């Protein structure tokens, strides 16, 4: 992505976030030794981590929020689905390490409390929990109007995984196949850019346009942006329970398909040579915002919300059968080949992704 990206112009600096993270991690990483009786089973940086409880048992642990998608909910005055997004962003990360999500807590920071809004938030959280098969075991409400205007919604999730089943993508080899599971739309990443492009630069513009019907989409702009994040827990757990050998499970969030680079295997190239159908919302964002291909694939999921790496066609057939049971579109989108280092290659778009960034090849 170029230095003067559209995402930067919208107020989100990917480069700045990476620099800030480095400053944080130099203090956080040494804390691993503070809990020697319960060591971590993986390095920080994957989608979730696993705490070794002893006796071969582990607890997966992760946290995430809905980002500025909640601004769309505020513009529409509709909060009954945003809780699904909060659950989804957490449980979809936890299953990446091979864990079964068990329970979540939520944290709501707000400038004021509104019983109707909080009821709607609860509706979404409950529906997300139902789809994931988890409990919501607690939470916290913090009224901090000096800091926040409106509402922010964040969660933290735990899951169970035997230590011999922890999966961080160490077993990926050249020749493996990449299966893409379809997204439901924008999910919960890149909303700052999407809002600026589709609704306008300021809140007044955005409020006036959020209910505009877009024939190209067959719905209003607000409805398209608020479409809940797809939850992949039940189909992926069914795959694991059936004994399918999944070499890696990768949640496609910020960073897009570059998230494949987060696996622990090295000297591999993920060749994405058959892209999933791209939802029309992404075409609209790209056309109206003049956003480059590299930035689109770096900021958004572009139709693929989750990836599975498998040995070959036998596993693909089993995955396809399970996905069909769950009404979840899936397809082989590429393969793995050997290279020096680690990268994602999109030959149709002539893009190469190293780390979390795409550039023209």
- Domains identified in the chain and CATH numbers: 38-165 (3.30.1330.10), 177-360 (3.90.650.10)
- With bands split at pLDDT 50, 70 and 90, how would you rate the model's confidence at 225? very high
Q: Are 117 and 66 in contact (CB under 8 A)?
A: no
**What pLDDT was estimated at residue 14?**
60
Q: Are 64 and 93 in contact (CB under 8 A)?
A: yes
| Strands of the 268-272 sheet, one edge to the other | 246-251, 304-310, 177-182, 330-338, 268-272, 342-346, 351-354, 357-360
Give one DSSP letter per residue of 315-337, joined into a string.
Answer: HHHHHHHHHHHTT--EEEEEEEE
pLDDT tens per residue across span 15-50: 666 778 888 889 999 998 999 999 998 888 899 999
Comparing 6-15, 38-47, 73-82, the range with the smallest average pLDDT is: 6-15
pLDDT tens per residue across span 315-351: 999 999 999 999 999 999 999 999 999 999 999 999 9
Compute the distance between CA of residue 107 and CA of residue 143 in angstroms, rounded to an integer. 11
**What pLDDT was estimated at residue 7?**
64
Compute the distance between CA of residue 90 and CA of residue 85 in angstroms, rounded to an integer. 9
Residue range 48-77: mean pLDDT, rounded: 96
**What pLDDT was estimated at residue 1?**
45
Residue range 226-239: mean pLDDT, rounded: 98
How is residue 219 written in tokens? Answer: 């719905």
Comparing 14-23, 39-48, 95-104, 174-183, the range with the smallest average pLDDT is: 14-23
Give the single-character DSSP code of 211.
T
**What pLDDT was estimated at residue 244?**
97
**What pLDDT was estimated at residue 319?**
98
pLDDT exceeds 80 at position 311 = yes
Kindly tell me the sign of the dihedral angle through the C-alpha atoms of 18, 19, 24, 28: positive
Name the helix (H) or strand (E) containing 17. Answer: helix 14-28
Compute the distance between CA of residue 18 and CA of residue 211 in angstroms, rounded to an integer. 35
**What pLDDT was estimated at residue 248?**
98
Residue range 292-307: mean pLDDT, rounded: 97
**What pLDDT was estimated at residue 43?**
83
Compute the distance between CA of residue 270 and CA of residue 262 in angstroms, rounded to an integer. 12
pLDDT exceeds 80 at position 6 = no
Q: Are 84 and 127 in contact (CB under 8 A)?
A: yes
Q: Are 175 and 271 in contact (CB under 8 A)?
A: no
Q: Can you give 149-209 as a three-state secondary structure string?
A: CCEEEEEEEEEEEEHHHCCCCCCCCCCCEEEEEECCCCCCCCHHHHHHHHHCCCHHHHHHH
Q: Considering only CA atoms, which of 69, 28, 68 is closest in space to residue 45?
A: 28
| pLDDT, mean over the chain | 94
SS3 94: helix
Comparing 33-42, 261-270, 285-294, the range with the smallest average pLDDT is: 33-42
Give one DSSP letter per residue of 246-286, joined into a string.
Answer: EEEEEE--TTGGGGGGGSS--SEEEEE-SPPPPPHHHHHHH
Burial of 320 (0-12, 13-18, 19+ CB in 10 A): middle
Comparing 8-17, 40-49, 64-73, 93-102, the range with the smallest average pLDDT is: 8-17
Give the single-character DSSP code of 112.
S
pTM: 0.94
pLDDT exceeds 70 at position 3 = no
Cβ atoms within 10 A of the Cβ of 26, count?
9
Residue range 195-223: mean pLDDT, rounded: 94
């Amino acid at each position: 992505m170029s230095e003067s990206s559209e995402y930067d112009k919208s107020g989100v600096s990917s480069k700045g976030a990476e620099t800030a993270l480095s400053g944080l991690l130099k203090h956080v990483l040494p804390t691993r030794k503070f809990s020697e009786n319960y060591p971590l089973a993986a390095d920080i940086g994957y989608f979730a981590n696993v705490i070794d409880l002893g006796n071969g048992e582990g607890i997966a642990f992760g946290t995430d929020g809905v980002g500025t998608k909640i601004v769309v909910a505020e513009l529409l005055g509709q909060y009954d689905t945003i809780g699904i997004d909060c659950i989804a962003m957490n449980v979809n990360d936890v299953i990446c390490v091979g864990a079964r999500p068990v329970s979540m807590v939520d944290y709501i920071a707000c400038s004021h409390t509104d019983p109707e809004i909080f009821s709607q938030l609860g509706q979404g959280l409950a529906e997300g929990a139902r789809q994931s098969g988890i409990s919501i075991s607690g939470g916290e409400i913090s009224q901090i109007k000096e800091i926040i205007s409106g509402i922010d919604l964040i969660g933290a999730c735990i899951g169970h995984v035997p230590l011999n089943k922890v999966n961080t993508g160490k077993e990926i080899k050249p020749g493996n196949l990449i299966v893409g599971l379809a997204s439901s739309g924008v999910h919960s990443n890149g909303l700052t850019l999407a809002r600026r492009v589709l609704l306008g630069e300021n809140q007044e513009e955005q409020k006036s346009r959020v209910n505009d019907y877009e024939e190209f989409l067959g719905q209003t702009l607000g409805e398209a942006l608020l479409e809940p994040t797809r939850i992949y827990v039940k189909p992926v757990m069914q795959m694991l329970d059936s004994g399918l050998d999944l070499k890696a499970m990768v949640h496609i969030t910020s960073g897009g398909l570059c998230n494949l680079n987060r696996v622990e295997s090295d000297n591999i190239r993920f060749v994405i040579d058959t892209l999933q159908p791209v939802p029309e919302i992404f075409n609209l964002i790209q056309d109206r915002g003049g956003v480059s291909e590299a930035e689109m694939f770096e900021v958004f999921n572009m139709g693929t919300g989750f990836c599975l790496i498998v040995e070959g066609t036998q596993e693909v057939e089993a995955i396809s059968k399970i996905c069909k049971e769950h009404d979840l579109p899936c397809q082989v989108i590429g393969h793995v080949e050997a290279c020096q280092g680690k990268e994602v290659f999109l030959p149709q778009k002539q893009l190469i992704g190293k780390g979390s960034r795409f550039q023209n090849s």
